[in-house]
Structure 1
Amino acid sequence: MNKIDALLDILSKIYHLLVLVYNSKYHGELKFDEDPQMNRQEVKDYLGISESTYKRMVKQGRLKPMKLPGGDKFYKSKLLSEYKESKRRGRI
């Protein structure tokens, strides 16, 4: 059973490396599990903004979503400057 566990561990590590390579190729940066992805609604709640403000920020290029089949996705670390701006404006 030890050999099977070791093999599964190696396969798991290979999978995580492939995910990192895929993310870097198609999304421009390496992201690790510590940086959670957020969907559109979570971003609006996190920043304290409305749907129209969200659309305007995307159009202006202030928010840059990853367009995926399940909808827009964001890495939380990419939202830091907008979070600070929302906090400064008293939205959150």
Structure 2
Amino acid sequence: MKGCVGKLGTKQTRYTEECKSMIVDLYHTGKTPSEIMSEYGLGKTALYKWVQERKEISVEQETLTAMDVRKLKIRIRELEEENDILKKAMTIFAKK
């Protein structure tokens, strides 16, 4: 498929999220891993990592991928940090 060329970095090729998803779709439609790896210059580890990250997980009538879960965990951590900061600020302002 045209338009899915990685950006050359210093040591390795970088692929967009759109490109990674398209490659995973090819994997799921039956294209062999060896064909995909040779056509897009991928290593075995990268291909299977992308497939695993985009594996769907059903949670209470909602479908998420492993990547979505990872992003949600990061966001939860960020919000918890923000809450801690706000709690500390409230303590400081309550003393005044």
TM-score, scaled to structure 1: 0.28
TM-score, scaled to structure 2: 0.28
Larger radius of gyration: 2
